[in-house]
A and B are shown apart, each in its own frame.
Chain A
Amino acid sequence: MTTIAAITAVLSVGVLTYLSRAGLILFLAERPLPMQIQRALRYVGPAVLSALTVTLVAGSEGVGGVEFAEVSAIAVGGVIAALTRNLIASLVVGMAALWLVLLIT
């Protein structure tokens, strides 16, 4: 990615982030969001973050780019997240699992 493309990307994301936060406050203050949209918006977080995780793990090589160590880290981190509901614990134990797998393979 060139510097110009990077700056363009950052500024575009910045403008969209501001609009998503300010839009309704500035322009639609008196009208509530339709119930249907509020319901759908609740699933944006889990859906897009899951899709992003899969993409980051695959990297640029598609399914072939998936490493065992990476999957182990995410699986272990995921189990810890489910058990403790603690992001710090899940990150630390997940990364520890990664290093362990890298060490023994």
Chain B
Amino acid sequence: MPLPRPDPSAVKDGIPLFIPAIPFALVLGVAIIESAMPDEVGWSTNLFIFAGAAQLATVSLAATSTWVTLVLTAAVINLRHVMYSAALAPRFESQPRWFRWVGPYFLIDQLYVLSSAAAERDDDDWRRYYLSVGTLFFTCWMGTVTIGLFVGSAIPEEWRLDVAPAVMFAGLVIIGITTRPAAVAALAAVVTTLIALDVPNNGGILIGAIVGVSAGYLAERAIDRNDTSEEPAR
């Protein structure tokens, strides 16, 4: 298995996308310190999970959930990767077997964006680019989370950095809402989760997520139907 040379354009494309992820990585580092999990186990999520939102959910839910809820919640958060996997699958078909096994490990949001934009490169060139961006993000991510860990242990409790993950997720949701059905999905999930807060082991997250997804899906269909009925009669 010859290791490809790093692709310099990966650095040029990757760094601008990594900068917005820096606060996320720092918050995760702080959350690992605050977590009910031992610090080393929290840190190991960088290696074993390598997916920011799922890592943050895993370490910050450890205090209040059983591992079953925690694992299910992270699994639902990760469902968006299925979309990436589906979209990139054709690009992986003609690749060597080792790369089809190794490549998906790195498939974070930013790598999906960059590698699908570079899809017209030839097989070897695309693989080199993919792995270069992937390892770049992996390295930068580990480093920044580790810095966050030290920052988190140096800052006194009164600063309430334990609130940062919730503020971060709220920001991510709002920035991610670009369509009306997405807003409906988020709102339905918030209301349902509030109602279901007393469900044991944070089961409300999953109920909220299911109701939210259904609401978004139904809203999209309702909007589509309205759009077609408003078209002039043929």
Binding site for B on A (CB under 8 A): 1, 3, 5-14, 16-18, 20-26, 28-30, 32-33, 38-60, 62-63, 69-70, 73-74, 77-78, 80-82, 85-88, 90-92, 94-95, 98-99, 102
Contact = CB atoms under 8 A, between A and B. Distances in A.
B160 A98 contact: yes
A17 to B, nearest CB: 5
Contacts of B62: 1, 6, 9
Given A6-B41, A17-B50, A23 B20 contact: no
B135 interface: no
B89 A60 contact: no
Contacts of B15: none
Given A9-B58, A26-B104, A47-B213, 11 more contacts: A5-B66, A9-B71, A13-B75, A14-B48, A16-B75, A20-B82, A29-B89, A41-B80, A54-B190, A56-B165, A90-B174
Contacts of B75: 13, 16, 20
A57 B103 CA distance: 36
Given A5-B67, A17-B50, A45 B80 contact: yes
A13 B172 contact: no
Contact of A51 (B49, B79, B205): B205
A10 to B, nearest CB: 5
Nearest to B217: A40
B67 to A, nearest CB: 4
Contact of A46 (B36, B42, B63, B173): B173
B57 A45 contact: no
Contacts of A99: 159-160
Nearest to A84: B175
Contacts of B67: 1, 5-6, 8-9, 12
A91 B88 contact: no
Given A20-B85, A33-B86, A47-B188, A91 B171 contact: yes
